[in-house]
Amino acid sequence: MYGEAGFAFRSKYFLDPFISVGYGTLASGETELPDSKYGPGGTLHQHLGMWVISPGITTDIWRFRLRLGIGLAVVVESNRYQGDNNSATQMPLASQAGIGFNCYEVPKFRLDAEARYVTAKGADVTFWAIGVTARGDLLTY
């Protein structure tokens, strides 16, 4: 699951700059480990999440919206086993590319179906996101 909030400037030209902050729960799970000669067994809880802080540009071509961004990823991997918590954090560069299709539009609101590719090569994490994007005008002048 991935969620994001962002702000964009709707310019008079064909490129619109934006900045966004998103968080994705990329993987989580539990593993039951049996008793062994090294100690008692138990449940190992694992989680991988990633924050993406990214400025970029968008452009509208007919009913499609193209999106490109490059920024910072904060990748957090954590484990919990028998009351011990361990985590590791990496902060590589992240890039994203996406395409959205305008499904519904009124003067100050727009609803898009979107597919997005996000990668943080320094942490070797890549994912696709398919979802719905709602856009609205907070300020106009």
pLDDT digits (tens, 9 = 90+) for 4-22: 999 988 888 889 999 999 9
pLDDT tens figures, 85-102: 999 999 999 999 999 999
How far is residue 132's CA from residue 112's CA, in Å, rounded to a whole number? 6
DSSP 35: P
Question: CATH number, domain at 13?
Answer: 2.40.160.20
Q: How confident is the model at residue 83 (pLDDT cuts 50, 70, 90)?
A: confident
135, 105 Cβ separation under 8 angstroms: no
Residue 34 lies in a domain: no
- Asked if the model's pLDDT at residue 139 lies above 80, the reply is no
For residue 11, the enclosing domain spans 2-29+43-136
Q: How many domains, in total, are found in the chain?
A: 1
- Asked if the model's pLDDT at residue 131 lies above 70, the reply is yes
Please report the sign of the dihedral spanned by the C-alpha atoms of residue 64, residue 69, residue 74, residue 78: positive
Model pLDDT, residue 10:
82
Angle at 101 between CA 95 and CA 104, to 5 degrees: 130
Residue 35 lies in a domain: no
- Asked if the model's pLDDT at residue 25 lies above 90, the reply is yes
* pTM metric for this prediction: 0.84
- Asked if the model's pLDDT at residue 108 lies above 70, the reply is yes
**Residue pointed to by tokens 């985590």:** 87
How far is residue 115's CA from residue 22's CA, in Å, rounded to a whole number? 15
Model pLDDT, residue 97:
97
How far is residue 130's CA from residue 98's CA, in Å, rounded to a whole number? 10
Contacts of 61 (CB under 8 A, 6+ apart): none
